[in-house]
Amino acid sequence: MSKILTSKSGRVTLEVSDDGMSAWMTIHRSTKLINENEILDLIDESGIQYGFEQAIHKVRQDGLQKEFDQAFPIAICEYKPLDHQLKYHFDIDSSIDPNHDFTPEYLNTLTCVESGTIIADSSINLFENEGSVYNIYGTMLQYDTFDQASNNALAGSNVIYDDKTNRYIAKTTGFPYLDSEHRICILDSIVIDHALEFNDEPFRCPISIVVNSNITNIELVCNGNVTINGSVADARIVCEGDLAVNGDIINCNKPGLHVKGSLSCNNITDSRVITKAHLHIRGTVRFSHLVADKGILGSDNSEFISGNAQSCGNIEFGTIGSSEKTETELEITISPYYKTLLMIKTKELINLKQQDDVDPEEISILKDTITDLENMLDTELSGFLQRPRTDKFHIIAQHDIYPFSSLRVLKHSYTVKNHQKGIQLYEKD
């Protein structure tokens, strides 16, 4: 029911809607003139504060005539749904196309975001809305400010929507983009269906990569995981995550493969492989240098022939050495990973100092890196000394071990002089 107010003379009535959104005035016909104060007093009594300009606009827009005994608007407010403004914090026009051919040049044009980055937010400006902010009494209108279900639906792959802050946040490191349904997504891995080969420029990728072919004579630097459904030859790979090679590693020794996670492959030939975690081998290792801090584990029919392997975990192969009497060395030692990196960086520093016109800043950076490696090595040593004494490392050859094979577990070493069926060499107190 509307609220109706009447002036003292009874010649003016004011009808106010229940929802407080409009008020209509009627001036009744009379032989006497209407006092302006009578109208103002009635408006003041009603408590109306807003909507006068909107009422004037409606009168003009609709061509309403102010006539006796005919109601006309004195105050009007209008409720209009709010328009949500979605603000992207990345350039949607130049964002990644998941179907594009991923070349080094193309990747260099893209912007990568880290996990936790705010990539978009949903906002509104109540005062820019075409509707009214207040009703005619001056009470702020209650708007349904956010449709949380719709906002949630805009969060695509690897993106979460925070309904408390109305922000879209990257769940992982990757390239932001909009999919075909205009959802906000993060691409956290790329797939390349052709071979990567013979490129003078390093192939740098800040996210995980899958290569469905071979890698030959290139440098690949990846901040994520790498899967190669082929073989790797004459290449350098630096991988911050895990490296899975569903083929062979061949002639990768200048400087080789450096993996911060684990590595798995079929065969390794004439290569240097350094891993921070585990090394899993399904086939044969020949003429190679292996370093794996957490362990080197070969399959039942795996072989290690000529070369050396170091780990701070268990070393297991099906066969160690060969009848060709080639020297084969396997050693369990403390943190070979950091020892090897320290040796490499120290050699780099020596070579750098011997160059003409050397950059002092480059020397300083390399010295800082060496200091960091020394500190990490000290930390690993302390951790090793404090480990449970029940943890005993071992070197095992499941089937055969041949002469010229040297095994060392920390302080104790063993040289094989005759062919024998398998061996198990455990850490001693």
Q: Which residues pair with 196 in a beta bridge?
A: 215
Output the pLDDT for position 125: 58
- d(CA 52, CA 41) in angstroms, rounded, equals 15
Q: Which amino acid is at 395?
A: I
For the chain, what are the domain ranges?
3-76, 85-129+140-187, 192-247, 253-429
Q: In the prediction, which pLDDT does 279 show? A: 98
The predicted pLDDT at position 145 comes to 57
Integer Cα distance of 52 and 65 in angstroms: 16
Provide the residue count of the chain.
429
Q: Is the peptide bond before 255 cis (omega within 30 degrees of 0)?
A: yes
Q: What's the CA gap between 359 and 367, in Å, rounded? A: 13
State the pLDDT at residue 109. Answer: 87
Q: Which residues of the chain have pLDDT under 70?
A: 1, 81-84, 124-131, 143-147
Distance CA 413, CA 423 (A): 13
Provide the pLDDT for residue 415. Answer: 94
Output the pLDDT for position 30.
83
Q: Which residues pair with 297 in a beta bridge?
A: 280, 316
Residue 330 CA to residue 336 CA, distance in Å, equals 12
CB within 8 Å of 372: residues ≥ 6 apart: none
Is residue 330 within 8 Å of residue 308, measured between CB atoms?
yes
Instruction: Provide the pLDDT for residue 179.
Output: 92
Token look-up 């392997």 returns: 309
Supply 177's token pair: 């983009």
* Token representation of residue 31: 């032989």
